[in-house]
């Protein structure tokens, strides 16, 4: 059967102006509670929650609706250990000379270093891949558009969805990340975009004393 090109918009939410104001404020108050967490408890939780959050991320807009993303959830301890080893190898080079003094200075406030125990002890790692191109049913290459923007949007939605159910995250980007293709057996059209660590903050964990720019600083009305 031939599918119609367009269909009537249904189920799009509609609120009164008062409800819109209330929802916008409540959402912003809740999102401002998000913190990047570097120390995790090893407490487990049902993977179903992550799958639901990835389903939310998959609803994101993307260039020509190509949905150029793939998410690998890693819960296997041995695989997490391999990822930690691969990442720490890159990070040792980064902190041991590859990074500029200016970059290291900018990072001082976070007290980060080449040690990444959270990659092994957090309950889940979500490895996000950017599909540089795709394949049709016959195996021919298909062009993807605005892949970086699309995957960036989906990643933002995923972080927000995880925060919405009380899960902490860390966006981690060892560089280069091609060791992830090998460990996770992903094809060459997929480029690792970032590692999203998720779980519950370790009891008593401390976070850097940083602030976000105000609305006047980040927004101009013309
Ligand atoms: N990837 C390194 C360094 C690092 C870089 C930036 I930019 C950060 O915001 C945080 C860390 C690491 O994870 O330690």
Q: What is the pLDDT of residues 44-83, one digit of tens each?
A: 999 999 999 999 999 999 999 999 999 999 999 999 999 9
Select 37-142+158-183+197-202's CATH number: 3.40.109.10, 3.40.47.10, 3.30.565.10, 3.40.50.2300: 3.40.109.10
| CB burial readout 183-215, b (16+ within 10 A) else e | bbebeebbbbbbbbbbbbbbeeeeeeeeeeeee
User: pTM score, two decimals?
Assistant: 0.97
Rounded Cα gap, residues 136 and 166, in angstroms: 38
Residue to substitute in 94, 102, 115, 179 for testing ligand 1 pocket (most ligand atoms within 8 angstroms of CB)? 94
176: preceding bond cis by omega (within 30 degrees): yes
**95 CA → ligand 1 middle, Å:** 10
Between CA 128 and CA 187 the distance in angstroms is 13
Q: Helix, strand, or coil here: 110?
A: helix
- Mean pLDDT, residues 196-212: 97
38 lines ligand 1 (CB under 6 A): no
Residue 131, pLDDT above cutoff 80: yes
């Amino acid at each position: 059967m031939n599918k119609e090109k367009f269909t009537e918009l249904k189920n799009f939410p509609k609120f009164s102006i008062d409800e819109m104001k209330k929802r916008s404020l409540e959402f912003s108050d809740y999102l401002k509670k998000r913190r990047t967490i570097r120390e995790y408890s090893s407490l487990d939780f049902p993977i179903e929650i992550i799958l639901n959050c990835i389903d939310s991320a998959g609803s994101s807009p993307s260039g020509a609706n190509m949905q150029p993303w793939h998410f690998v959830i890693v819960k296997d301890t041995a695989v997490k250990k391999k990822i930690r080893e691969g990442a720490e190898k890159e990070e040792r080079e980064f902190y041991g000379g590859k990074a500029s003094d200016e970059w290291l200075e900018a990072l001082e406030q976070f007290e980060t270093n080449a040690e990444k125990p959270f990659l092994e002890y957090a309950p889940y790692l979500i490895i996000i891949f950017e599909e540089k191109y795709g394949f049709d049913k016959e195996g021919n290459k298909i062009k993807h558009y605005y892949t970086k923007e699309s995957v960036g949007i989906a990643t933002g939605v995923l972080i927000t969805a995880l925060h919405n159910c009380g899960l902490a995250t860390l966006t981690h980007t060892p560089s280069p990340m091609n060791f992830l293709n090998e460990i996770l057996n992903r094809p060459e059209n997929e480029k690792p975009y970032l590692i999203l660590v998720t779980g519950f903050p370790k009891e008593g964990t401390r976070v850097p004393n940083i602030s976000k720019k105000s609305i006047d600083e980040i927004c101009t009305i013309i």
